[in-house]
Amino acid sequence: MAEIKMIGVVGGGQMGSGIALLAAANGIHVWLHDTDPNALSRAQKYVSTFVQSLVSKGHLSQAAGSDALIRLQCTSNLEDLQSADVIIEAIVEAEDVKKKLFSELDKIAKGSAILASNTSSISISRLASVTNRPQQVIGMHFMNPPPIMKLIEIVRGADTSDETFSSTKALAERFGKTVICSRDYPGFIVNRILMPMINEAFYALYTGVATKEDIDTGMRLGTNHPMGPLTLADFIGLDVCLSIMKILHAGLGDSRYAPCPLLVQYVDAGRLGRKRGIGVYDYR
């Protein structure tokens, strides 16, 4: 594929805003789309605050910071993404919603464009199946927060071409990331291992094994994790964790992946983690 000059990002939440920032800071023009105008204003604020902090710490010159901000444009009109070379989807973790979007993107995007999904767990082959370009559909799973975390997990669907894989890998490396490659199974590599651990931490809390603080301190100091699993769940978003557990449970067909009732209850109560000010912990 020719050099990637423009990227479309769909979904301006935690992940989409970070991906847009990463692309803009690496010299690529970005159209960021979200259906919610408030999400777009939050994304713009997040990006300008992040760029300002890089400038004030001396990691980026004032001119490079201003250029990065100019390269990012927000839109509530999906059609503005029509000239993008790559479109990265980072909307809600729900297969039916993502499929509807992929079918729309297939009609809007130029014929050569790659359609990538930042999904944490949903089958890339199934998302590709609603398009007429399954060979150009791929998983590009960034870690949270995208500008800081060093890894991108690339997931090839059943029909993803070698060319799509090489272009996506080259893009991830242009972002300065290390790439790992997963086959298209529920949760891929990282969430296949991480989410059952987080779910087990919820079970430990639910069954009264210990307090939330002791569960987190145990895993932080006992296994050298930078963050305890319950703190990490709040950081990821409890709704995202629950969606992933449901996909692991349905896709792997084993009761050991059943979401913990306490996780379900928190999500039902709107305790979605840091982004809502309350999850396992209260941040208000």
Q: Which residue has the tokens 């242009």?
A: 174
65 sits near ligand NAD (criterion: CB under 6 A): no
Q: Token pair for residue 154?
A: 């690339």
Count of residues of this chain found to bind ligand NAD when the rule CB under 6 A is applied: 27
Q: Which residue has the tokens 């709040």?
A: 234
| x/- track of binding to ligand NAD for residues 115-154 (CB under 6 A) | ---xxx--------------------xx-x----------
- Bridge partner residues of 74 (DSSP): 32
Among 93, 106, 216, 234, binds ligand NAD (CB under 6 A): 93
Among 101, 115, 128, 194, binds ligand NAD (CB under 6 A): 101
Rounded-to-integer distance, Cα 169 and Cα 163, Å: 10
Neighbours of 151 (CB within 10 A): 14
3-state class (DSSP) for residue 127: helix
Identity of the amino acid at 84: A
75 sits near ligand NAD (criterion: CB under 6 A): no
Nearest to 212 by CA among 201, 198, 224: 201
**Per CB under 6 A, which region of 21-29, 156-164, 174-182, 235-243 contacts ligand NAD?**
235-243
219 sits near ligand NAD (criterion: CB under 6 A): no
| x/- track of binding to ligand NAD for residues 4-43 (CB under 6 A) | ------xxxxxxx----------------xxxx--x----
Among 7, 87, 91, 267, binds ligand NAD (CB under 6 A): 91
Rounded-to-integer distance, Cα 233 and Cα 254, Å: 22
**196 in Cβ contact with 248 (< 8 Å):** yes
**18 in Cβ contact with 146 (< 8 Å):** yes
Rounded-to-integer distance, Cα 58 and Cα 277, Å: 31
For the annotated catalytic residues, the residue numbers are 120, 141, 153, 191
**Per CB under 6 A, which region of 63-71, 87-95, 130-138, 247-255 contacts ligand NAD?**
87-95
**Per CB under 6 A, which region of 59-67, 126-134, 154-162, 236-244 contacts ligand NAD?**
236-244
Could you list the residues that contact ligand NAD (CB under 6 A)?
A: 10-16, 33-36, 39, 90-93, 97, 101, 118-120, 141-142, 144, 236-237, 240
